[in-house]
Amino acid sequence: MDLKIAVLSGDGIGPEIMRQGIAVMNAIANKYGHQFSYTEAICGAHAIDAVGDPFPEETFKVCMDADAVLFAAVGDLRFDNNPTAKVRPEQGLLAMRKKLGLFANIRPVATFDCLLHKSPLKEELLRGADFIVIRELTGGMYFGEKYQDNDKAYDTDIYTRPEIERILKVAFEYAMKRNKHLTVVDKANVLASSRLWRQIAKEMEPSYPEVTTDYMFIDNAAMRVLTEPRFFDVIVTENTFGDILTDETSCITGSMGLQPSASLGEHTPLFEPVHGSWPQAAGKNLANPVAQILSAAMLLEHFGLNQEGALIRTAVDASLDANVRTPEIQIEGGEHYGTEEVGKWIADYIANA
Residue 90 interacts with which of Mn ion, ligand IPM, none, CB < 5 to 8 Å by class: ligand IPM
Out of 27, 93, 129, 236, the residue judged to bind ligand IPM by CB under 6 A: 93
Nearer to ligand IPM, 270 or 311 (CB): 270
Residue 328 interacts with which of Mn ion, ligand IPM, none, CB < 5 to 8 Å by class: none
Q: 263 - beta bridge partners?
A: 105, 270
156 Cβ neighbours under 8 A, 6+ residues apart: 141, 144, 145, 146
Out of 155, 243, 328, 348, the residue judged to bind Mn ion by CB under 5 A: 243
In angstroms, what is the minimal distance from the CB of 274 to Mn ion?
7
Nearer to ligand IPM, 90 or 130 (CB): 90
Which amino acid appears at position 103 of this protein?
A: F
40 contributes a contact to Mn ion by CB under 5 A: no
Measure the CA–CA gap between 327 and 110, rounded to whole angstroms: 20
Q: Which residue is nearest to Mn ion (CB)?
A: 243
Nearer to Mn ion, 40 or 243 (CB): 243
Which 163-202 positions form the footprint of ligand IPM (CB under 6 A)? none
Residue 155 interacts with which of Mn ion, ligand IPM, none, CB < 5 to 8 Å by class: none
Q: Which of these segments, 95-103, 134-142, 239-247, 281-289, binds Mn ion (CB under 5 A)? A: 239-247
With 0-12 / 13-18 / 19 or more C-beta atoms within 10 angstroms meaning exposed / middle / buried, residue 146 is exposed
Smallest CA-to-CA distance from 221 within 133, 326, 329 is with 133
Residue 205 interacts with which of Mn ion, ligand IPM, none, CB < 5 to 8 Å by class: none
Nearer to ligand IPM, 90 or 317 (CB): 90
90 contributes a contact to ligand IPM by CB under 6 A: yes
Smallest CA-to-CA distance from 54 within 33, 78, 35, 36 is with 78
In angstroms, what is the minimal distance from the CB of 105 to ligand IPM?
8
In angstroms, what is the minimal distance from the CB of 353 to Mn ion?
34
End-to-end CA distance of the chain: 20
Query: Cβ(238)–Cβ(136) under 8 Å?
Result: yes
Burial 215-224 (b: 16+ CB within 10 A, else e): bbebeebbeb
Burial 323-353 (b: 16+ CB within 10 A, else e): ebbbeebeeeeeeebbbebbbbbbbebbeee
Residue 317 interacts with which of ligand IPM, Mn ion, none, CB < 5 to 8 Å by class: none
Total interface residues for Mn ion by CB under 5 A: 1
80 contributes a contact to ligand IPM by CB under 6 A: no
Which 107-136 positions form the footprint of ligand IPM (CB under 6 A)? none
Out of 40, 80, 243, 340, the residue judged to bind ligand IPM by CB under 6 A: 243
Measure the CA–CA gap between 46 and 227, rounded to whole angstroms: 41
Which residues are designated catalytic?
Answer: 142, 187, 219, 243, 247
Measure the CA–CA gap between 55 and 70, rounded to whole angstroms: 15
C-alpha to C-alpha distances, 84 to 38, 78, 143, 171, 191, nearest whole angstrom: 36, 11, 20, 38, 31
Q: Which residues bind Mn ion (CB under 5 A)?
A: 243
Q: Which residues bind ligand IPM (CB under 6 A)?
A: 90, 93, 243
